Amino acid sequence: MNGKQREKIEKDRTKSLKELGGFSLWRYLWRLLTSMRTALILLMLVGVASIPGSIIPQRSQNPFEVSDFFDRNPAISPWLDRFYFFDVFGSPWFSSIYVLLFISLIGCVIPRLNEYLRAIFEKPSPPPQSLQLMKGFQSFDSDSIGADKVLILSWLKKKGFRTAEFDGSITAEKGYLKESGNLIFHFAMIFILIGIAVSSIFGMRGDSIVNVGERFQNTPTSYDSMIPGRFYSVESLQPFQIKVDSFLAEYDPLTNQALNYELEVRVREELDSSEEEKVVRVNEPLTFGATRVFLQATGYSPQVTVRDGAGEVTFKGAVAFLPQDPNLTSAGAIKVPDMEPPIGFVGSFIPTAARDEVRGAFSSYPEVLDPRLLLAVWQGDLGMDDGKPQSIYRLDIENMERIGLKALRLGESYDFKVGSITFDGYLPWVNLQIIHDPGKKIALFGGLFALIGALGMLFIHRRRIWIRFSEENSVQLIDVAGFSSSNEELLLRELREFQEFLTLKKGES
């Protein structure tokens, strides 16, 4: 289908809209939505609508920056929030453009598929009346030409043209794959959109912090956080197990930049299957069907022992702290509700201790070379009994009182009168990100087919050659001309070749 034909169809469409009766409002809307112009406008709108999502911080990407933005722009932020500007890609207005584009695309492509299927089985149509007005027109008399109709037809066939004979004329057509490419491309786009929808509806993503030496069991309670899709069922979690054996992190001693992370694990696919040893790296996740486990972040869990005034152990274990900077200065909280009164510690773990005037104590290197555990001891109500959800990394100090402050080296203890705490050691932890994404294969195939389609649609060109035989004053005449909507240069080159063939034949005979 060329541009003019398509334009005509568009015109016919809008014309017939006026003739429709009242009950056909829906048909009117359908036609309006599925017109090429609307599809184009919607395509542009998706582009424009995604701009705010790249300039205003998004909750889905960085919730801290969103709250930061709220603090800096208190007047306008609530309004932006009301119109979903912090969740652009999940907002009703973005989704509605996306859905409309999806429908419009289907409405555009299906009629074209029908037309294409019809055209592919049809013979090319007869040449227009006045070939003189068409591209590359030339007229030859039979004296200068040796080729007859049969030879011409076989030459055209050899060149890959599809030919049709009419009374005294031939139409030859080539480049049908252009429209195939075009349709493949647009269907592939629909597949990508379906893949994205499947991912977000049936998918799941969750995080779990696991200390080296510990085991991760894929059950809901093992997760620190989980975002399931609307139709994701927790029962469908695959029962795999990951035992974290060792974690290696290498850093560049000059720039402190991370060079390599390597996580050695033992994996069980099912509860009763045998253990397998595997290595996880940043670009090499573990795969369990459509679920993959990624190595996402790392930090340290200081190990402590807390004793009460009588010397009884009230807490012993490793507590994960969250990194605050690239050198892994980490912050966290240790809560000991089993003491009377309850005790809490606000802590900083510093892998390689350094100190300056401005920052106080900080870490100068992400590996553990000279560790310190800085602790503030708080006594009072930990606020854990009132049922409110609490961060495990923070101490709610509202009803508490500070009773001590200390920096500990490895192995040192601090006696804070009502008890004591010992800095026993530390464990590295890794953040495993578990992602179930059933739509990604659909999207991937969509992407690959989009590419194949794009190549066909942009590099194959549809062109026609028309030949008419006539007689004037008992001289045989052959008129030749052609048409191509996308590449005239190519058409003219082929017409020249054809002309050479005609005259060459004469020379030979």
Partner 1 sequence: MDSKSLAYLSNNFIYSALAVFAIAFLLHAVETAWSVKSGEKRELDRSRTEKLARSATGLIILGNLIVAAALITRGASASRIPVANMYEFSITGAFIFTTAYLIALKKYNLRWLGILVAGLTLLTLGTAITLLYVESAPLVPALKSPWLLIHVATAIISGGIFLLANSLAAAFLVLEKMERNGVRSSWAHRLPSLDALDQLTYRLIALVFPIWTFSIIAGAIWAEAAWGRYWGWDPKETWAFITWVAYAAYLHARVTAGWKGRKAAWLCLIAGSTFLFNYVYVNIWGTGKHTYSGL
Per-residue binding letters, 49-68, with partner 1 (x by CB under 8 A): -xx-xxx-xx-xxx--x---
DSSP helix/strand/coil, 377: strand
- 221 contacts partner 1 (rule: CB under 8 A): no
CB of 500 to partner 1, least distance (A): 22
Q: Which is nearer to partner 1, 11 or 417 (CB)?
A: 11
Residue 386, classified by CB atoms within 10 Å of its CB into exposed (0-12), middle (13-18) or buried (19+), is exposed
Instruction: Identify residues 415-434 at the interface with partner 1 (CB under 8 A).
Output: 433
Rounded distance, CA 441 to CA 358, Å?
51
Q: Which of 226, 181, 189, 175 is nearest to 205 (CA)?
A: 226
Among 149, 157, 281, 496, binds partner 1 (CB under 8 A): 281
Instruction: Identify residues 484-503 at the interface with partner 1 (CB under 8 A).
Output: 485-486, 489
Residue 330, classified by CB atoms within 10 Å of its CB into exposed (0-12), middle (13-18) or buried (19+), is buried
Among 46, 76, 201, 504, binds partner 1 (CB under 8 A): 46
Per-residue binding letters, 76-95, with partner 1 (x by CB under 8 A): ------------xx------
- 6 contacts partner 1 (rule: CB under 8 A): yes
Residue 177, number of CB atoms within 10 A of its CB: 15
Tokens representing 131 are: 């070939």
Among 32, 33, 43, 177, binds partner 1 (CB under 8 A): 43
Among 20, 120, 259, 384, binds partner 1 (CB under 8 A): 259
Tokens representing 46 are: 């998706």
Among 14, 47, 248, 369, binds partner 1 (CB under 8 A): 47
Among 7, 270, 275, 401, binds partner 1 (CB under 8 A): 7
Tokens representing 35 are: 């017109």
Instruction: Identify residues 136-195 at the interface with partner 1 (CB under 8 A).
Output: none
Which spans in 433-478 are helix H?
A: 440-459
Q: How far is CA 434 from CA 65, 322, 333, in A?
A: 24, 19, 25
Give the interface size with partner 1 as a residue count (CB under 8 A). 57
- 326 contacts partner 1 (rule: CB under 8 A): no
Q: Which is nearer to partner 1, 396 or 437 (CB)?
A: 437
Rounded distance, CA 206 to CA 222, Å?
10
Among 40, 234, 248, 475, binds partner 1 (CB under 8 A): 40
Q: Which stretch binds partner 1 (CB under 8 A): 130-138, 289-297, 400-408, 491-499?
A: 289-297
Q: Which is nearer to partner 1, 68 or 401 (CB)?
A: 68
Helix axes of 92-121 and 177-202: crossing angle, nearest 10 degrees = 150
Q: Which of 438, 452, 410 is nearest to 300 (CA)?
A: 410
Among 224, 275, 276, 284, binds partner 1 (CB under 8 A): 284
Among 331, 447, 477, 492, binds partner 1 (CB under 8 A): 447
Residue 136, number of CB atoms within 10 A of its CB: 21
- 440 contacts partner 1 (rule: CB under 8 A): yes
The span from the first CA to the last CA of the chain, in angstroms, equals 40
- 228 contacts partner 1 (rule: CB under 8 A): no
- 313 contacts partner 1 (rule: CB under 8 A): no
Give all strands of the β-sheet with 215-217 in edge-to-edge order.
Answer: 215-217, 241-251, 258-268, 276-280
- 258 contacts partner 1 (rule: CB under 8 A): yes
Query: What is 38-78 written as a DSSP string?
Result: HHHHHHHHHHHHTHHHHHS--TTT-HHHHHHHHHH-TTTHH
Q: What single-letter DSSP state applies at residue 351?
A: S
CB of 349 to partner 1, least distance (A): 22
User: Which residues of the shown chain bind partner 1 in the complex (CB under 8 A)?
Assistant: 3, 6-7, 36-37, 40, 43-44, 46-47, 50-51, 53-55, 57-58, 60-62, 65, 88-89, 196, 205, 252, 255, 257-261, 281-285, 292, 294, 296, 433, 435, 437, 440, 443-444, 447-448, 450-451, 454-455, 458-459, 485-486, 489
